[in-house]
Structure 1
Amino acid sequence: MATADLKLGTVILPRSESPRAISRLTEFTWFHKIETDNDLVTPEIDDLLLEAQKAFQSIDDVVKGLGIPPIVGIMEILFKGTVIKKKDYEIDEIEDMVNYLKETAPSIIDKPAELLEEAANTKLAIEEFTSLKETLEVIKKMKIDLTGFGLMKYFYTNLFVINSSDFEEISRSLEDITFYKYDLENKEKSALLIISDSEDSEKVLKVLRSFNSNAFTIPQGMPQVPSDAYATATAKIKELTEKQSSNKKQIAKIKKSLRRDILSIHEKALVAKDVLESLRKPGGTKHFAVIQGFIPKKMEKKFQDSTEQWTSVVEEVTDPKLVNELPTLFDNKRFVRTFEVITKSQGIPKKGESDPTPMIALMWPIFYGLMFADMGHGLLLMGLGLLFKVKGQGNLSRWGMLIAISGASAAIAGVGTGEMFGFHLDHMGPLE
């Protein structure tokens, strides 16, 4: 068959009842809304959309944090045997779906979200303590207590770490100021303990900053003796690393156990958000909304029955602008639909163009069987395709059926040519 004939469906209703209209229109597998230039928003839809967006964002953050792919990939199916079975979900009103997400999502995502937040905080703490440890590495043998260092009433005291090569020039710049030099393990670095009048503090800071050196400080809550602070930082890093390892194991475990539930509510939230966004600004006036869209001709009665409580009209598409915007809807039999993935990969036909899918469905198995005529390889290919068909999701399942049909045609042609795994059938031991 060619592409489906489309008609223009219009619904006129009070704007406050738009959410109910959305619920009815989503019953159609094929309703292509026409975008309108309208800035009028519907508060009832906006409120639902806000809740749907918040639910989706919180779920999406967990999905990304756990690194869960939206569909099961080919390699995972082959080597791990992972399969997530389809689960049907029915609901009367879009509002009920949003409320369902608000009530159900926390029980599923709260624990993973808590673990992800804990893992992020642990990672940040490890980075901070590692940076502190690397700094303390330079002066870890010093037994000076830094508590109280800084600007006092009459004196200024502080510790600076400088490049050893800059010491001579710094000492000349601070010739009137008392300081002590400490040699460190790293010969390229030296420590300067500055003791000066409070009036000279600005001069000291200005000179040391010109050599890219700032006052050395140890964060509050840590021992202020460098050697003790270094030991504490090392112990903290070890403790946090063990905690991080434990978090990773818990996250991997919860990812495996809740993967299906998380993906299920993620898809529901995405559908609710997308539907509400697409119908957020229906045309019309302040008090009445006008929703227009393309529907298949064969669904005309169903459209009118679902929208009978409002004013609805189904008409032929005559407006030249709308004719140019007509989408393409395939309308093929079940077997032929398997081959639509080939048509889509090469280019979807426009309105008025013939659909090549039926011809592809006829010729593909014939030509593939003739080119790949081998019973053994064909059966293996058919088995692989059926595996993808049964365990795959979305387009992978459709491609799996196509591969299975191709394998079956190759196996049948292989019987005709007498080929199996590259050998003639009469040369195979069991068949001699």
Structure 2
Amino acid sequence: MKLNQVTLITPRSELGSVMEELYEFGFFHPAGEGERDPVLRELERRVDKNLVALELVIQELNIRAEAGVLEQLAGRRIAEQREFTADDINELLDRLDSEAGPLINELNNLLETRRRLREGLNSMYPILEGLKLVSGLNIDLNTLGRIRRFYVLLAVVQQREVAELRRSLTEAVVVEHPLQRGYSATLIIANIRDADRVDRIVKGLGVRPFDIPRDLPQNTSEAFKVFSGRVAEAENKLREVEDRLNTYTMREASKLLALRDAYKVLKEAVHRLAPTGMLKRFAVVKGYIPENLTEEFIRRFGSKYPVYSSHPRQLHHGHEHGGEGGETSKPPTLLSNKGIVKAFENITKVQGIPGYFEIDPTPFVAFFFAIFYGIMFADLGQGIIIFLFSLFMLKRTTGNLRLWAMLLAVLGVSSSIGGFMIGEAFGFKIGKTIPTPGILELVEVHNGTKQFNIAEVQKLLIFTILMGALHIVVGYVLSIVKLVKNGEALEAFTSKIPTLTMYLFGILFALAFFGAGGRMENIMTEDAPAPLIGLPTSLVGTVGIAGAIASIFALLFGKLAAGFAGLGPKVGFVSAIGQGLLEVLENIIHFLSNTISYARLAILLIVHIALLLLLNTAWEALGIVSLPILVVGNVGIILLEGMLVFIQALRLHLYEFFTKFYDGVGYEFRRIAEETPFARVIIGRR
């Protein structure tokens, strides 16, 4: 869709009300430059405060922002969209803050309590574990501490370390009592004179004395009993807090997501509008609007503020082109595809967004992608299954998944049409039941054995190669149109047009070659009709060879002749011939590899039919008993081969089509009044 660039000049004191009016207008893509307005910057800080707090709370509570594909198909929804309305931004922020503030405070308090309880329990569990190990010993540490004539130390060590202790402490007595999980309670008794030495050895071996916290009874059994109660109490408190948080999550998840998205939409709008030029007292607001809304924009803002409108224009080799007063810039792209074509925008976006001055290939993608898929996956029954599933998906899903569902519906219809044309459903012939054209009989029966009809397979290969040639030709034509639009007509006439004609005449040469039975010497003399077009092979061969040679000469000498005629920059003879020769050789390689690549259309259809033939032998052998096998097999083929066919159709577009003309370096038009699946913000009276 065509856009206009608009510039609006307003006193900075009125920038807030201008922003509200622009938000109410909706279709405005901010593209300001210069310093950020201090008032809007402060407003953004206010928005950001609660936005960050909400995002942290949502992250802590593990609230999911969207349901997965399978969950949506199962009917699960995260939340419904909520509408936030206000007359101005400050009023809206006051409402959001009054609603979000108490929620954030209460949830943060609960989260902080949970954090403290978890940290406390994490520090308590090791103590509890140690007390549990020695709880059966019933030892009073105070009693051990009152022994004055001996060095006494109680430690819990792994059983394999006890022997090392005994070897190291030859002058001490080491008493061992086995505990659970490979540990032992070890009592070390030594003469008080050897206390320092024993203490150094014990520490060197990494043995730590067993201590009971001072606020607990110093008897191991009693300490374990008291401390277990404390741990249980803390765990109960943690469960209560987590139950409250879970209740909040279930009850307030949709509200939290809606509030977060409302803040996010506001922040995005303020952030994008904040760059307002370098003037001290006036703000310069720049942006893009759809061309058909220009009059409404001027009528709405022109009576109060100076408004300037211009058409974006390109730079062509340093020369500006476009209407008077046009702006030289890189505008955003507002895609305007409708209906089923819009569903194929997802395919285009795989290669990037088309630039504003670039050709949008989506309509061509929609046409060829559907045809290619229908050829490779031609089956009436399975196509209907895909179509029905896409309708179910369309009903259950939201957002971008609905576009994928629409695309799937188109592919299902295309597969059904392909299957109807060849008279097959689930691999069975349906010509006797349903009247079908039966344009191809790929499978024939000889002596009760099914096998592929080689003649029909050859027809299919020829058809798919021709479809590929058409696809490639469209790509070359679009590349020529692109160059002419960009002011590079010389490049179009000296490179792309000769390349296109070389390819077309090369096709004629190939037809003549097959018409002459594969004998090069007969191409110019054979009177038999050439395949497909029915003209004499000699005529087709002569035209093909002459046209290809003329195209090669144009590639070799086109730029050189244009330079001599003053139509372009002068180039050296050797440079021009060398570059042209490289282009000719590159074209020949690309013509062959790109065209042959489309044979995959026929190959994948043959593979599809072969798989179904193999599967359907179960029906012929077992009859109705094989029905579960057929159902599972067909589902597997739809899932696996359906995906494989999709990938191959995508590959043909990415490598054989887009590479001819498409850059995909644009960026999308984004309204200042955006909305999300959870929040829709309305500012102003509507």
Alignment of 1:1-400 (within 5 A): 4-27=1-24, 29-34=26-31, 36-38=33-35, 41-42=37-38, 44-82=39-77, 84-106=79-101, 116-140=111-135, 141=137, 143-145=139-141, 164=162, 167=165, 183-186=176-179, 190=186, 210-212=204-206, 217-219=211-213, 221-241=215-235, 251-252=245-246, 254-308=248-302, 309-317=304-312, 323=328, 325-400=330-405
Q: What is the letter of the counterpart of residue 228 of structure 1?
A: E
Give the counterpart letter for 1:105 in structure 2: A
Q: Greater shift after overlay, 341-350 or 204-213?
A: 204-213
Contact 2:340 2:407 in 1 (8 A): no
Q: Is the 8 A contact 1:146 1:217 kept in 2?
A: no
Distance 1:203 1:275 in 2: 73
C-alpha displacement at 1:244, in angstroms? Answer: 5.2
- Distance in 2 between residues matched to 1:338 and 1:69, nearest whole Å: 26
Alpha-carbon shift at residue 89 of structure 1 (Å): 4.2
**Aligned partner letter, 2:368:** M
Q: Distance in 2 between matches of 1:301 and 1:195?
A: 102
Q: Deviations over 1:155-196 (max 9, x none)?
A: x99977676467569869xx9xxx997645456663569999
Q: 1:192 to 1:305 in 2, by over 3 A?
A: farther
Q: Which amino acid aligns with 2:120?
A: A
TM-score (norm 2): 0.51
Determine the C-alpha separation between the residues in 1 that align with 2:188 and 2:309. 87
Q: CA deviation at 1:145?
A: 4.9
**What is the TM-score normalised by the length of structure 1?**
0.76
Counterpart Cα distance in 2 of 1:128 and 1:312: 66
State the distance in 1 between where 2:103 and 2:351 align: 41
Deviations 1:125-166 (A, max 9, x none): 33222122233345443533569x8xxxxxx99977676467
Match of 1:152 in 2: none
1:101 positional shift: 1.6
The match for 2:411 is: 406
Seen in structure 2, the aligned counterparts of structure 1 residues 319 and 419 have a Cα distance that, compared at 3 Å, is closer
Query: Which deviations, in whole Å up to 9, do the C-alpha atoms of 1:193-234 show, x marking residues without a partner?
Result: 99999xxx9999887655545665544654444333323343
Listed one character per residue, the Cα deviations across residues 318-349 of structure 1 (whole Å, up to 9, x for unaligned) are 69697453332212334432221111122222
User: Identity over the aligned pairs, expressed in percent?
Assistant: 26
CA distance in 2, matches of 1:318, 1:193: 94
Q: Retained in 1: the 8 A contact 2:153–2:187? A: no
- CA 1:408 to 1:234, structure 2 compared with 1: closer, same or farther past 3 Å? farther
| C-alpha deviation, 1:401, in angstroms | 1.8
Distance in 2 of aligned mates of 1:302 and 1:222: 79
For 1:286, what is the secondary structure of its paired residue? coil
Who is 2:480 aligned against?
Answer: none
Gaps of 5+ in 2: 146-150, 319-326, 435-686
CA 1:24/1:122 → structure 2, altered by over 3 Å: closer, same or farther?
Answer: same
Alpha-carbon distance in 1 for matches of 2:47, 2:127: 43
CA deviation digits over 1:350-371, x for unaligned, max 9? 2432111122233333443344
Cα displacement string for residues 241-289 of structure 1 (whole angstroms, at most 9, x for unaligned residues): 5665666566555444433333222211211122223334432233332
Tell whether the 8 Å contact from 1:15 to 1:288 is kept in structure 2 after alignment: yes
| Counterpart contact for 1:84–1:391, Cα < 8 Å | no
Q: Supply the AA of the counterpart residue of 1:95.
A: N
Alpha-carbon RMSD across the aligned residues, in angstroms, is: 4.2
d(CA) in 2 for partners of 1:113, 1:427 = 71
Q: Is the 8 A contact 2:156 2:184 kept in 1?
A: no
Deviations 1:366-394 (A, max 9, x none): 44334433343333322332333333232
Structure 2 CA distance for partners of 1:350 and 1:159, relative to 1, 3 Å:
same
- Cα distance in 1 for residues equivalent to 2:244 and 2:422: 56
Asked whether the equivalents of residues 48 and 98 of structure 1 are also in contact (C-alpha less than 8 Å), the reply is no
Q: Aligned partners of 1:230 and 1:316: how far apart in 2?
A: 82
Query: Is contact 1:72–1:393 with CA below 8 Å preserved after alignment?
Result: no
Are the structure 2 counterparts of residues 92 and 219 from structure 1 closer, same or farther at C-alpha, using a change threshold of 3 Å? farther
User: Per the alignment, in what secondary structure is the counterpart of residue 332 of structure 2?
Assistant: coil
Equivalent residues of 2:383, 2:412 under 8 A apart: yes
* Structure 2 residue matching 1:229: 3-state secondary structure: helix
What is the DSSP-based 3-state SS (H/G/I as helix, E as strand, rest coil) of the residue aligned with 1:70? coil
Letter in 1 for 2:72: I
Answer yes or no: is the 8 Å Cα contact 1:97–1:272 preserved in 2: no
The number of aligned residues is: 412
Tell me, in whole angstroms, the C-alpha distance in 2 between the residues paired with 1:193 and 1:10: 90
Change (3 A) 1:287 1:357: same
Q: Which has the higher contact order (CA 8 A, sep 6+)?
A: 1
Q: 1:327 aligns to what SS in structure 2?
A: coil
Alpha-carbon distance change, 138 to 341 in structure 1, aligned in 2, over 3 angstroms: same
State the Cα deviation string for residues 105-135 of structure 1 (Å, max 9, x = none). Answer: 2465666555544544443333222122233
Distance 1:209 1:384, change over 3 A: same
